Structure 1
Amino acid sequence: MVEPEELFLLKHAGEKKVDPLVSRRFALPAGRDDNAISCTPRRILLSRINRASSKVGNAFSPPTAPSHVAWQRINTGPSQAPLFLSRLGVDLNSGTHPVNSTKTLQYVFLPSYQVDLNMRAIAVLPVLILTAVAAHTDAFPSPEAFRPLSTQMLDSVISRRQGIVSSGAPTSTLEAGILSHALRSWVDLYSWCPEGKNFSSYLDAVLDATLPSFKSANASTKLPMDRLTLGYALLNLHRPLSANESAVLSILNGSLALQPRTPEGGFWYYIYANWSYLDGTVSFLPFMAKTGWSDTEMLLQLHLLETHCAHQSGLLVHGYDASKTAVWANNSTGGSPFVWGRSMGWFLMGLVEAYPCVPQTVQTFIRNTLKTIIPVLIDLADNSTGVWWQLPTFPGREGNFLESSSTALYIFSILKASRLQIVEPSWDHISKALKAYSYVAKNFVVHYGNGTLGYNGTVAVNSLNSTATYQYYTTRPIVPNSLLGESAFVLASLEVERMAFDWWNNKQTK
């Protein structure tokens, strides 16, 4: 049994003792949050957004990112070799780590931020290892083994030039937008790392490659709602925007004002008349929150989705047809017949990302929604692996399969909602999200042997412009190294790694 107050579990290869001198302490400012830091200064009134691009440059120039306190590295002995965060992927049942047996490892058992360690859940869970710190010795064959998975995955994405060279998929705009968010989130957490400059440059390159497609507000309404993820990326840049970027931001906001709507006022997701997708939440809600749209407008969109997409499980279905004429539309609500995993994930991510910047009325809606949905998701996770299914409400049914992008989005949303205390942190929920993460890191992450990673298990586009049957959803192809899955995994990894840093900082200040 793990003693609640004894958080360090020293594991070592070959039953050799860990040299207490081979140690280095890291201190990170507590309570840091990438969204909360600069949310309010970046909220922009619509009147400012609609100015000519030559006049809105300053309006769209986000304030310089706050200078965070540098990490303090305190030597505890002479001639220390540096410590690095090791890749995660610990076997929850055995407590072993899939690394070279010559490596000396210090495993850290981490609690949640506000979770009582005396909760009895700890006593019945397997030894839960959230992250590892590897003592760097000459025996280490490669630095890959002791770099965070978030860093390794982004390095791999860059090596494949993903996000710059379009995948050609209908989701290519969303891919670029979510990758941009993942890159910016990494830089927020690891601003002191040398990779930061490279990742920031790559973020600029992704934007340079995608922004020219937005020519006018009216033309942009013909594009999927996904386009607004790029606007959100622009709003979160830690540098002043160029004149072209400011113009694109104005175009994107103007396009949302012109977006076709259902008779009740719900945004069309794409060109399909009166169809609203749950997916669109990750695009429109954070963007609306950062650009000063009213709480009335935001609540309208959320209320319509919640009403028309309601499912008996407590989750929400893929989307709805307000005209109720689609072949799949429910006669009463217009809702589609199935809860689709990734659509549910985009919805949750949109709520969590927008939360720090929305008015209190919208925050209340988000809290209540997450309080309902998260426990349902926890109950629907696969008992053996901890991850989620392509169609979450049919766990284990023939044809259904475990899906990696939705799982990563759920992990991210559960952990971030707990960290920001949007929902009351629950060790049961957090530990199960971490169990899922461990499985993902061990089974969906691919190590190619050349220093790069891949990501498997991500399903291709699922559209309501289809029969939307069980067979349709369960026969969609799997796309290796899909940016949607990779970026979601990076975001989930950053939440796990942030837990490690916050815990370590709190431990050192006691």
Structure 2
Amino acid sequence: MKKNFICNFILSGLLLFSPLSMFAQRVDSNLPWSVRMVESEMIRCPESWQLDFQPKLKWDYCHGLELQSMLDVYDRYGNRKIYDYALAYADTMVNADGTIKMYKREEYSLDRINSGKFIFRIYEQTKDEKYKKALALMRSQLDEHPRNADGGFWHKKIYPNQVWLDGIYMGAPFYAEYAFRNNQVDDYADVINQFLMAARHTYDPKNDVYRHACDVSRKERWADPVTGQSKHSWGRAMGWYAMAFVDALDFIPKHEAGRDSMLVIFNKIASQIKRLQDSKTGLWYQVLDKSGAPGNYLESSCSTMFVYSLFKGVRKGYIDKSYLEVAVKGYKGILDNFIEVDKNGVVSITKACAVAGLGGKVYRSGDYDYYINETIRNNDPKAVGPFILASLEWERLQDVKVIVNRK
């Protein structure tokens, strides 16, 4: 089912009463790409709870990913409507006592933690105590979240002993930011361990990539009986992992033991991204260790995630400046191959894998055919959010060039 249908089936009735009723239904092509994508999403989904193709309220990582990126656009360019759009979701989902609609702490799912990151910003702006309580509630999940013997969080309670690269992004940057904002300095070591642990469990030396996940108990059918690793390196899993580094490092002090090991791993990831980049388009494949194989395809969510991570990594000095060339080529490839603009200027990003996982009730084997046959759709938030973030990095880079050219 297409996002345009889900978000717009109530448009004619809702828009008259929406906070966005005064928001233009056309997007100015002269605006920066980050702003154009934000405005396009707000047109597609006039209520922020409708993001991620949702017909009803949901608390999950995709809303947090998009709304966090939108707040970054608001911080850079202004426009109160963008902030109000993010605030509306927070205000709808967070109750007066700090509990969160549709959030069940006892599920122990790292996916439910990611949306907490944009709540930091909402609390900072509003000073409403309900948001502070909500943040504390999500942080308390990590105190009791099930772990493996080496301290690594399980991806979810229903996936015992499993470490997924996706989960590092879902939990670790929030964990790091909470520690930073609340002066919980003893937590940094645990945050760092999540990154190092995931690298140990998922690194595949034969192909020099990080595989999607590992079952430390080696019991799952998808797990290698010796290593416990899943069968392939999934592009978006690597993308989540890369973004987790550049976002968590913002909050981990430079003197913290183990931070240098994080940088070593992130540099390895950057080298893998460079090596696996498609030479013709500048993009990346759905299944990285089978790049160019029959049936494999260039995928937008991993491509946008890689470009954002490289741009920010160079800007922050985490990786060598030579990676800027890789990022620029990738960003231009995204614009040339994935971005479409309709007659009203509304921007879409195409060819995103809707979802991919391992195990579960409807069992996902994680073999090659599984990954390449999952649903592909347009305007998936897992491509939209990183595209906005990558565009902001590109736009910041253009500012630097303008300053240099004026000297």
Q: TM-score range by the shorter chain?
A: 0.7 to 0.9
Q: Distance in 1 between matches of 2:134 and 2:353?
A: 31
Q: Secondary structure at the match of 1:305?
A: helix
- Which of 417, 432, 438 is the aligned partner of 2:313? 417
Which structure carries more helix by proportion?
A: 2
When residues 210 and 282 of structure 1 are mapped into structure 2, their CA distance, relative to the original with a 3 A threshold, is: farther
Q: Distance in 2 between matches of 1:220 and 1:397?
A: 41
Deviation at residue 366 of structure 1 after TM alignment: 2.3
Task: Report if the CA contact (8 A) 1:328-1:337 is conserved.
Answer: yes
In structure 2, the partner of 1:159 is 43
Q: Secondary structure at the match of 1:446?
A: strand
Segments of 5+ residues of structure 2 without an aligned counterpart are 1-25, 180-185
Q: Secondary structure at the match of 1:145?
A: coil
CA distances 1:304-360 after superposition (whole Å, capped 9, x unpaired): 211110112332111111211001112233111111101111111111011121133
In structure 2, the partner of 1:468 is 366
Deviation at residue 240 of structure 1 after TM alignment: 3.6
Deviation at residue 295 of structure 1 after TM alignment: 2.7
In structure 1, the partner of 2:129 is 243
Q: Distance in 1 between matches of 2:59 and 2:145?
A: 20
Deviation at residue 251 of structure 1 after TM alignment: 0.6
- Which of 221, 225, 241 is the aligned partner of 1:347? 241
Deviation at residue 188 of structure 1 after TM alignment: 2.4
In structure 2, the partner of 1:110 is none
CA distances 1:283-310 after superposition (whole Å, capped 9, x unpaired): 2221111122523212322222111101
Q: Distance in 2 between matches of 1:216 and 1:440?
A: 36
Q: Distance in 1 between matches of 2:101 and 2:332?
A: 44
In structure 2, the partner of 1:495 is 393
Q: Secondary structure at the match of 2:272?
A: helix
Deviation at residue 463 of structure 1 after TM alignment: 0.6
- Which of 177, 191, 213 is the aligned partner of 2:64? 177
In structure 2, the partner of 1:431 is 325
Q: Distance in 1 between matches of 2:48 and 2:351?
A: 19
Q: What is the letter of the counterpart of residue 193 of structure 2? A: L
When residues 210 and 442 of structure 1 are mapped into structure 2, their CA distance, relative to the original with a 3 A threshold, is: farther
Q: Secondary structure at the match of 1:267?
A: coil
Q: What is the letter of the counterpart of residue 175 of structure 1? A: C
1:367 aligns with 2:253: no
Deviation at residue 223 of structure 1 after TM alignment: 5.3
In structure 2, the partner of 1:382 is 278
Deviation at residue 258 of structure 1 after TM alignment: 1.4
Task: Report if the CA contact (8 A) 1:399-1:474 is conserved.
Answer: yes
Q: Distance in 2 between matches of 1:449 and 1:215?
A: 39
CA distances 1:441-471 after superposition (whole Å, capped 9, x unpaired): 1221111212211111110110112111111
Q: For residues 394-405 of structure 1, what are the structure 2 equivalents within 5 Å?
A: 394-405=290-301
- Which of 217, 224, 227 is the aligned partner of 2:109? 224
Segments of 5+ residues of structure 1 without an aligned counterpart are 1-141
State the identity %: 26
In structure 2, the partner of 1:277 is 164
- Which of 268, 278, 289 is the aligned partner of 2:154? 268
Task: Report if the CA contact (8 A) 1:218-1:258 is conserved.
Answer: no
Q: Distance in 2 between matches of 1:339 and 1:273?
A: 21
When residues 288 and 387 of structure 1 are mapped into structure 2, their CA distance, relative to the original with a 3 A threshold, is: same
Q: Secondary structure at the match of 2:50?
A: coil
Task: Compare CA radii of gyration and give the structure with the larger one.
Answer: 1
Task: Report if the CA contact (8 A) 2:204-2:210 is conserved.
Answer: yes
**Number of corresponding residues:** 362
| TM-score with structure 1 setting the length | 0.67
- Which of 81, 85, 88 is the aligned partner of 1:202? 85
Q: For residues 61-100 of structure 1, what are the structure 2 equivalents within 5 Å?
A: none
In structure 2, the partner of 1:298 is 191
When residues 296 and 322 of structure 1 are mapped into structure 2, their CA distance, relative to the original with a 3 A threshold, is: same
Q: Secondary structure at the match of 1:320?
A: strand
Task: Report if the CA contact (8 A) 2:93-2:101 is conserved.
Answer: no
- Which of 427, 451, 454 is the aligned partner of 2:345? 451
In structure 1, the partner of 2:251 is 357
| TM-score with structure 2 setting the length | 0.83
CA distances 1:386-439 after superposition (whole Å, capped 9, x unpaired): 10000112111011110001000000000100001111211xx21222112112
Q: Secondary structure at the match of 1:357?
A: coil
In structure 2, the partner of 1:309 is 202
Deviation at residue 185 of structure 1 after TM alignment: 1.3
When residues 218 and 210 of structure 1 are mapped into structure 2, their CA distance, relative to the original with a 3 A threshold, is: closer
Q: What is the letter of the counterpart of residue 301 of structure 2? A: S
Task: Report if the CA contact (8 A) 1:390-1:402 is conserved.
Answer: yes
Q: For residues 327-338 of structure 1, what are the structure 2 equivalents within 5 Å?
A: 327-338=221-232
CA distances 1:32-57 after superposition (whole Å, capped 9, x unpaired): xxxxxxxxxxxxxxxxxxxxxxxxxx
When residues 217 and 403 of structure 1 are mapped into structure 2, their CA distance, relative to the original with a 3 A threshold, is: closer
CA distances 1:93-143 after superposition (whole Å, capped 9, x unpaired): xxxxxxxxxxxxxxxxxxxxxxxxxxxxxxxxxxxxxxxxxxxxxxxxx97
When residues 215 and 178 of structure 1 are mapped into structure 2, their CA distance, relative to the original with a 3 A threshold, is: closer
Q: Secondary structure at the match of 1:324?
A: coil
When residues 444 and 209 of structure 1 are mapped into structure 2, their CA distance, relative to the original with a 3 A threshold, is: farther
